[in-house]
Amino acid sequence: MATTTQTASVPTPKQSLRERLDLGSGVFPYFLVAPTIIIIAAVAVYPIIDSIRLSLLTNPLVPTGNTFAGLNSYIQAIGDPEFQGSISTTIIFSILSVAAETVIGFALALLMNQTFRGRGLVRTAILIPFAFPTIVSSTIWLLMFNAQNGVMTYLMQVFHLLSPGDTLLRTTNGIIAAAVIIDVWKTTPFMALLILAGLQVIPKELYEAAGVDGSNRWQQFWTITLPMLRGALLIALMFRLLDALRAFDLFYVLTGGGRQVETMATYAYANMFQSPPLDFPTGVAATIILFIICAIVSSVIVTFSRINQ
């Protein structure tokens, strides 16, 4: 008598959403970051592309009758003495302010990295200047630089840095100096906290071992602190340089919207919305040039940080 054997079918386990999306191809991580990429493309990439398009037209504010102008707006902007002056102002301001903020911020970070009573309160209080919006802090300092009753003007006259009745905001160099002072006061805490975060991840055992080997504090700073802090320091420099290069509201407040001292950002704004007759394509071209400069600066810093890892 023949017997038949029936094989029971094993039900296939139900795949999860991740398994259906991934399928061994590594697609799932890209699915997770897709919403962020879409938002960035909508709020950042599209405006940049559209700005490039507008800079290539003769009159982008008029919906009809526009003609393709090519790089004429860029040539006009680069050849404009005012734009050349704005580039110089932007570079000078960025170098002076970021250099001062880095040195002072480094010193403050080293101090706050020590153990002392009230360290938490000091770390919190140091953020107060950075918490103020730039437009607010600029207005406060503008009153302090006032020629009649400004406290900063009075102190500078007492120490014979200014003549009686004079003010720092009457000359181009004075306005740049005032902008550097305000920017250093406001954003040095930001630099200090970023550097402090880098200091706190350095193992204390390295300093202890170096001390056992007979190295002093200065040698430990150059052989341990600086090499281990390179990554955090470069990130802090990148953030501050990009922020300084696009300085707008600080100079706008100090000049009262005037054009005696311009950064690249204020030059672009004045051409697009302020100075008659309006030269919108040149202003947009100036913003694109500023964007390219910022992109080059960030790329150089990121590349340098990778090389030195």
How far apart (Å, rounded) are the C-alpha atoms in residues 272 and 282? 8
pLDDT at 21: 56
- The pLDDT score that the predictor gives to residue 206 is 83
Between CA 233 and CA 103 the distance in angstroms is: 11
Q: Could you tell me if 134 and 249 are in contact, meaning their C-beta atoms sit under 8 angstroms apart?
A: yes
**pLDDT at 121 (0 to 100):** 82
Instruction: Specify the DSSP element, H or E, that contains 161.
Output: none
pLDDT at 176: 92
What architecture does CATH give domain 87-307? Answer: Orthogonal Bundle (1.10)
Q: In the chain, what are the domain boundaries? A: 87-307
**pTM for the whole thing?**
0.82
Predicted confidence at residue 201, as pLDDT, reads 84
Q: What is the pLDDT of residue 102?
A: 92
pLDDT in tens, the chain (309 residues): 445 555 555 555 665 655 555 555 566 677 778 888 888 888 888 888 888 888 888 877 776 667 777 888 888 889 889 999 999 999 999 999 999 999 999 998 888 888 778 777 887 888 888 888 889 999 999 999 988 888 888 888 888 888 887 888 888 898 999 999 999 999 998 898 888 888 888 888 888 888 787 787 888 888 888 888 888 888 889 889 999 999 999 999 998 888 888 999 999 998 888 877 778 888 889 999 999 999 999 888 888 877 755
Query: Residue 111 and residue 126: Cα distance in Å, rounded?
Result: 12
